[in-house]
């Protein structure tokens, strides 16, 4: 019999390990830039009436010379969806609205407009079903083909090591998902997005967990390389203005369309952690 609690614990431990590795690498980049910026960690506990063990998480936030604002959150929460929201979640029903979710979520907004912003998250969610989801996507205010190609190549290789159909499917999913309909533009230059990699047995769990871990490792490998490539670039006031306008589009997507934002707000998540994805400064024309 599949032990869901053991699977959740395995996933939780990995997400926390990944957080520690990412934060250490980002702090190392700050040191290379002559900054002593470091992550500030704030634990939080979820509250749900009638639930003695709703879980919680830790919000990690750093504001530095290279990373103007970067948040890395991990959480493990459990409880019950509201009936109308349960109907929108894979495996949940109004009659059986219980859930347990563990995951990592990261958004980095960079000081230099030539350095791409980025989003990454991976998660394991249990309702009447159990599945992995997540992905990573690159969001440059000033795109460079070299950066886009390297980012996609690293994710393509990761996907190919697990399933020859994954990259085509998941990159198309990202292209469709990270789109701002009212603007008619994409949020960035894409990446991969996947969801509902279901785990009905131990073999499926092991397979999908291995893929999810490799997505995290791929991000940890490729994104710091892109940061180091661009962080010393000179930029103009016009470049900064371009970045601030682009950040406005990013904020619009996250507040209007992003499923993760909605999930957090609908399940009593930490407001500061949920909205850490918003840029520190933006403009609208």
Helix (H, G, I), strand (E, B) or coil at 209: helix
What residues have CB less than 8 Å from 181, skipping those under 6 apart? 257
- Give the strands of the sheet with 98-110, arranged side by side: 40-45, 55-62, 67-80, 98-110, 117-126, 130-139, 190-198
Ranges assigned E (strand) in the chain:
40-45, 55-62, 67-80, 98-110, 117-126, 130-139, 179-180, 185-186, 190-198
Pair type for strands 98-110 and 190-198:
unpaired
Catalytic-labelled residue, pool 119, 152, 162, 196: 119
What residues have CB less than 8 Å from 184, skipping those under 6 apart? none
**Secondary structure string (H, E, C) spanning 62-101:** ECCCCEEEEEEEEEEEEEECCHHHHCCCCCCCCCCCEEEE
8 A C-beta contact, residue 84 and residue 97: no
Task: Give the phi and the psi of residue 17 in degrees, each rounded to 5.
Answer: -65, -45
Helix (H, G, I), strand (E, B) or coil at 208: helix
8 A C-beta contact, residue 276 and residue 71: yes
User: How many Å separate Cα 103 from the centre of its chain?
Assistant: 9
| Residue 114 is a catalytic residue | no
Separation CA 189–CA 178 (nearest Å): 9
Residue positions annotated with a catalytic role: 119
């Amino acid at each position: 019999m599949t032990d869901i609690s053991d699977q959740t614990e395995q996933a939780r431990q990995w997400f926390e390990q990944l957080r520690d590795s990412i934060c250490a690498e980002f702090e190392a980049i700050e040191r290379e830039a002559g900054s002593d910026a470091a992550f500030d960690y704030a634990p939080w506990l979820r509250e749900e009436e009638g639930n003695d063990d709703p879980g919680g998480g830790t919000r990690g936030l750093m504001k530095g010379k290279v990373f103007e604002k970067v948040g890395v959150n991990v959480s493990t929460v459990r409880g019950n969806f509201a009936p109308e929201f349960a109907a929108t979640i894979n495996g949940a029903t109004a009659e059986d609205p219980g859930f347990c979710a563990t995951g990592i979520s990261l958004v980095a907004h960079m000081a230099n407009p030539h350095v791409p912003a980025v989003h990454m998250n991976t998660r394991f969610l249990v309702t009447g079903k159990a599945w992995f989801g997540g992905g990573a996507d690159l969001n440059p205010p000033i795109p460079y083909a070299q950066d886009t190609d390297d980012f996609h190549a690293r994710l393509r290789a990761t996907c190919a090591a697990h399933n020859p159909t994954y990259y085509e499917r998941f990159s198309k999913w990202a292209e469709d998902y990270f789109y701002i309909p009212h603007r008619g533009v994409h949020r960035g230059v894409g990446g991969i997005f996947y969801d509902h990699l279901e785990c009905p047995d131990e073999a499926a769990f092991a397979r999908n967990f291995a893929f999810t871990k490799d997505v995290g490792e791929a991000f940890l490998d490729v994104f710091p390389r892109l940061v180091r490539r661009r962080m010393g670039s000179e930029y103009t006031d016009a470049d900064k203005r371009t970045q601030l306008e682009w950040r406005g589009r990013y904020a619009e997507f996250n507040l209007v369309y992003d499923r993760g934002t909605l999930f957090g707000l609908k399940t009593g998540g930490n407001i500061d952690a949920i909205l850490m994805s918003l840029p520190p400064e933006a403009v609208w024309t």
